[in-house]
Structure 1
Amino acid sequence: MIVREKFEDELHELSDKLVMLAKLAEQALNKAFTAFETQDHELALRVLEEDEQANMLEEEINDFALLLIAKQQPVAIDLRRIIVGIKIAADIERMADYGVNIAKASIRLGKNHHIIALDDLKKMHQIMIEMLNQSINAYAEEDVHIAKKIAKMDDEVDHLYGQCMKVLLRESSENFQQISQLSFIARHIERSADHATNIAENIYYLVRGRHLDLNK
């Protein structure tokens, strides 16, 4: 019984580390978007500098999870919890990387006036952040209903992404540099939302023991 309790504590520790990684990713994405919106290059550079924290924590999670497998030799649902934890960590770390990419794009944009309204990009970003938070809640509570809601939110992000790209394609080629960087930012947000959806899929697998494609 004592061994089982210790194992449960270690599974909770794995969950806590994932929550911490998600917070780092959220901070990176929010800071990057703020840097883009306000043309704050110092803030953008700070996102680049802080990225190593997320990279190191993902490695720590992987090492911790592999040690749990080797030490405890878990089966069934416990093994799924650990494997899903590794997969979720990879998706969250990739979202943090997209924060870095947005920060880099904001630096490349310089201080020029934005050629389009940022409303759709703002909405995309807000929904994507909510998807990240909801996916972590779904993981902590092992709630497939929350996971399914995330897929619907992803559809909204995809719709806004399509609208944003249509607006950019109508812009003059004279603004090619800004068009390309704004396109990259939109794409980075859209891909971040896809990774949140991946997390939701893994939660479904964790709870139900079978895969569900929420990106259809």
Structure 2
Amino acid sequence: MTNLNEPHTAKVLDRELAELLKLIARIGGMAENQIEEASRALLERDDRLAAEVIKRDQEVDRLEADIQQKILHMLALRAPVADDLRLVVSAISAASAFERVADYAANAAKRSMVLNTMPLVPAARPVVRLMQMVKRQLHAATNAFVEGDAQQAIAVWEHDDEIDAIYSSLFREILTYMMEDPRQISACAHLLFIAKNVERVGDHSTNIAELTYFMVTGKQLRDRPKADVTSSLGYSLDDEADV
């Protein structure tokens, strides 16, 4: 813990900012790993792995709380300004976004355990592919934030519509399975919720990219591209991370 009597020097602030970025990299890596393991648990129908994902969600929660505490400490004692203040403020939202991503992974793991009690649904594999795509998007967003890379942030931001388009296509595919075989309705309903949560992980990755761009440039990215048309189909899935 930082000595409260330590002088308020630029050197001290720089060190604490570097430590903060390391914590952001850590929580981002943990969230990414949670998505990876949740996708494996779904694909391999592995209850043990799913249970580990659910258990590790608490570790992400604790780290997010530690980050928020560190940020409050810096705001109170270091009074960062300009670029440094944008970094600290952006880190608050980024840490919260990563914690939310881990919640979605835990939810997917819980639902995969329910799915394991039912016959295998072919639509599970496309959901896993979407999870892998979103994991790569999250990885890129984390790197952009930690490295302060505005161009990489823009690249993540521009790919949000691709994830939305794939999700919309997958949504229709799962509905087709449900209509063709009513015995699969229950399993497909769980897959729909998993897919929606995964799409929300993509949104959080894009949020982190927007935070990065603001942190680096002091400007906002506007008019985010969106290609999720599921709401126009007359269906709505609540944004939920706990079951």
TM-score by length of 2: 0.84
State the partner residue of 1:94: 100
- Secondary structure of 2:100's partner? helix
Percent identity, aligned pairs only, is 31
Is 1:186 matched up with 2:195? yes
Match of 1:176 in 2: 185
1:12 corresponds to: 18
Structure 1 vs Structure 2 CA RMSD: 1.6
- The question of whether the paired residues in 2 share the 8 Å contact of 1:201 and 1:214 is answered with no
Residues 31 and 60 of structure 2 are in contact (CA less than 8 Å); yes or no, is this contact kept in structure 1? yes
| 1:119 Cα deviation from its structure 2 partner | 4.5
What is the deviation of 1:215? 3.1
Find out whether 1:29 has 2:35 as its counterpart: yes
Contact 2:167 2:199 in 1 (8 A): yes
Name the structure where helix makes up a greater proportion of residues: 1
**What letter is aligned with 1:86?**
I
Q: Do the aligned partners of residues 152 and 173 (structure 1) sit closer, same or farther apart at CA in structure 2, a change above 3 Å counting?
A: farther
Per-residue CA deviation, residues 4-26 of structure 1 (Å, 9 max, x unaligned), is: 11110100000000111011111
Q: Verify the 8 A CA contact 1:128 1:193 in the aligned structure 2.
A: yes
Query: Letter of the aligned partner of 1:199 in structure 2?
Result: I
Tell me the equivalent position of 1:59: 65
TM-score (norm 1): 0.94
* Runs of 5+ unmatched residues, structure 1: none
Matched residues, number: 216
- Structure 1: distance between partners of 2:131 and 2:223: 20
CA-to-partner distance for each residue in 1:66-118, whole Å, 9 max, x for gaps?
A: 10010011111111110001110001111111110100110111243432244
1:141-167 Cα shifts (integer Å, max 9, x gaps)? 211111111123222211111111111
Q: Which amino acid aligns with 2:43?
A: E
Q: Whole-Å Cα distance in 2 between the matches of residues 149 and 159 of structure 1?
A: 17
SS at match of 1:114: coil
Q: Secondary structure at the match of 1:170?
A: helix
Give the one of 138, 141, 164 matched to 1:135.
141
Q: Is the 8 A contact 1:151 1:214 kept in 2?
A: no
For 2:123 and 2:15, locate their aligned partners in 1 and report how far apart those are by CA, in whole Å: 49
Check the 8 A contact 1:44/1:103 in 2, yes or no: yes
Q: In 1, distance between residues paired with 2:166 and 2:186?
A: 22
2:52 aligned residue: 46
SS of residue matched to 2:159: helix
